[in-house]
Chain A
Amino acid sequence: MQEFLQYIFSGITNGAVYAVIALGFSMLYGSTGLINFAQGEFVMIGALSLISLWKGVNLPLPLAFAGAVAITAIAGAMLERFAIRSVKKPHPIVLVIITVGASILLRGVGMLVWGKDSHGSPSFSDHAPYDILGATLLPQSLWILVLTLGVVLGLHIFHKRFLTGRAMLACAISTKAAGIVGIPTEKMVLLAFSMSAAMGGIGGVLIAPLSMSSFDMGMNLGLKGFCAAMIGGLGSSWGAVVGGLLLGVLEALGVGFLSSGLKDAAAFVLLLLILYFRPSGLLGTASVQRF
């Protein structure tokens, strides 16, 4: 029981991080129909920026948090402005390769800026870990969970309540029609890119105190986040959350009841099963035709 609870805690902690990263994938796909393979690199930038701003520059945590997210958002906006928008005939595969190129580029930049070593970061708060029925719950896990839910709720409200959010949804449904009714579609794409990059940045900020961060941390997290987004249903915010948590918990249970070496396989077997039996994802409704 004690172990089981520990697996769940561990799974939820990792899962919440996957969820935030998945959210970035999902919201970009939802508004532009694009899969950004550089998403993991935004996680890396977020994590390392936080460490630099918080520990290096000694900014207070909230400021460092905001700064790190802002840096990733700017990186995302630059990716859209200088690379994605420059493509004249945007065939999806060409755009995907551009994001792959961007991920290599960003990793290179990360290596130059932060070096090849790993960096650690303290937790957001100094509380001692909680002991629940013998299982340990880290305060950082609570932070991650709360902030993840906050991000999803924020996104939900943005899409439902704000004019810009609704305009973005309109672009997702039909760029042409949105353009005709006067929505600046180019700006919307730019905004979608920087928002999804910011999600990646938040994921990085959340994970930095939990683990060690280095310039090459992005790919693995990006893949997991992408997997989570697929499981939950691309384009669905709540799907991303469900997918992320499910993936995290499944991995932890895989460690507990199978073998730790097979836990990555477990994630991808789940992905295949979802594809076979429910291709639109657990919560996905949109017919997935692009790419």
Chain B
Amino acid sequence: MRYLILMAGVLAAGFGLSSPYQIQLLTFIGINSLLALGLNMLMGYAGQISLGHAAFFGLGAYVTGVLTAHFHWSPWLALPVAILLTAAAAFLIALPLLELSGFYLGMGTLGFGMIGYVVFRQWSSLTGGDSGLVGIPSLELGPLSFADAKNYLFLVWAVALLCIFLCDRLIHSRIGRALRAIHDSERAASSMGIDTGRLKVHIFVLSAVMAAIAGFLYAHLVSFISPGSFDFLVSIRIVTMVVIGGMASVWGALLGASVMTILPETLTVFTEYEMIVYGLIMITIMIVIPQGLFRGILDIYERARFRTGSIPAGPQA
């Protein structure tokens, strides 16, 4: 039901909007939603933080960018390669770190993110170095050309909705329960026979793959990529989207991505004061509704859902 509403919303927006600016903004929101959703799965359900998600985002973008612009592959062939490479990288990063509890994964991904950034900049024969990679073709599927901004909007949102749908399903499945169990109590989860380390690696890989898909969509949308779009600040921005929107909620990811995409656009009226206002808004949201915007809004609904009235709101995400 919720999907139908959202789908109708996107369709209406797509057909209703005539301004390329708004269409583009909505497309970026879709891409950011994918990023936030992937990270939300990791942070909200596996209780791990990633400070290097921009590197996976970049890996997806650069793999397809290099393969299509330099080697003239079809983007549709480059996509699986991008996904596989990202998955492999994520797997190798996570394997030794997720066995340890605590924040090691966060630190490891931080390191990985910085290394990825250096590689994007330094391997200039392939990546175009700091000045970026030009000539990434637009997407085409048979007679359907995604060079048209509206078609691309629909494509991005179709992918985003599909991912939201799949993640929602996953969360309410056996695996999702196991993930939530890990988040609530790792010891108890392990005593239920859940292979916590393995599951965390899997969810990390899933989250990285979603970032890679977002990177793929970004690269073919902008048709130009440069390392600046995948630096540490971008990783932090993705984490912020998740936390602002609300962890452990696919809809929170959507909300967080929307807010964090639109906010800087609207804040430009503050010119010199933009950063101050932006920082203040972030701090205020975290102080007032630490469980995130989505949870904050749904608090009342949550209270009603469980019979007893005096429930602290939301899972302690």
Complex: A in contact with B (CB within 8 Å): yes
Chain A positions within 8 Å of B, measured between CB atoms, are 35, 37, 83, 86-89, 91, 93-94, 96-98, 100-109, 111-112, 219, 223, 226-227, 230, 259, 261-262, 264-265, 267-269, 271-272, 275-276, 279, 288-291
Interface centre among A101, A105, A276, A289 (most CB of B within 10 A): A101
Please tell me if the beta carbons of A105 and B275 are within 8 angstroms of each other in the complex: yes
A83 to B103, CA, bound (A): 23
In the complex, what's the smallest C-beta–C-beta distance from B7 to chain A, in angstroms?
Answer: 31
Please tell me if the beta carbons of B316 and A89 are within 8 angstroms of each other in the complex: yes
In the complex, what's the smallest C-beta–C-beta distance from A187 to chain B, in angstroms?
Answer: 20
A219 to B235, CA, bound (A): 13
Indicate whether B106 reaches chain A with its CB closer than 8 angstroms: yes
Given contacts A100-B240, A112-B273, contact A106 B114 (CB under 8 A): no
A230 to B106, CA, bound (A): 12
Counting residue pairs across A and B whose Cβ atoms lie within 8 Å, the total is 130
How many interface residues does B have (CB within 8 Å)? 46
Residues of B within 8 Å of A261, CB to CB, are 118, 121-122
| Complex A-B: 11 CB contacts under 8 Å | A94-B286, A101-B278, A101-B286, A103-B279, A112-B276, A230-B107, A262-B118, A272-B108, A272-B111, A275-B97, A291-B103
Please tell me if the beta carbons of B112 and A272 are within 8 angstroms of each other in the complex: yes
Further 9 A-B residue pairs, CB within 8 A, beyond A89-B290, A105-B279, A261-B122? A91-B290, A98-B282, A105-B280, A111-B272, A230-B107, A261-B121, A269-B111, A271-B111, A275-B96
User: Residue of B at shortest CB range from A277?
Assistant: B96
Given contacts A98-B287, A100-B240, A275-B107, contact A108 B278 (CB under 8 A): yes
A272 to B275, CA, bound (A): 32
A12 to B10, CA, bound (A): 56
> Which of A89, A91, A105 is in CB contact (< 8 Å) with B276?
A105
A106 to B102, CA, bound (A): 29
In the complex, what's the smallest C-beta–C-beta distance from B285 to chain A, in angstroms?
Answer: 8
Residues of B within 8 Å of A279, CB to CB, are 100, 104
Interface centre among A37, A86, A96, A102 (most CB of B within 10 A): A96
Residues of A within 8 Å of B287, CB to CB, are 83, 86-87, 98
Residues of A within 8 Å of B274, CB to CB, are 108
Given contacts A271-B111, A276-B97, A288-B102, contact A104 B278 (CB under 8 A): yes
Interface centre among B104, B108, B276, B279 (most CB of A within 10 A): B279
A261 to B287, CA, bound (A): 40
In the complex, what's the smallest C-beta–C-beta distance from A274 to chain B, in angstroms?
Answer: 9
In the complex, what's the smallest C-beta–C-beta distance from B196 to chain A, in angstroms?
Answer: 15
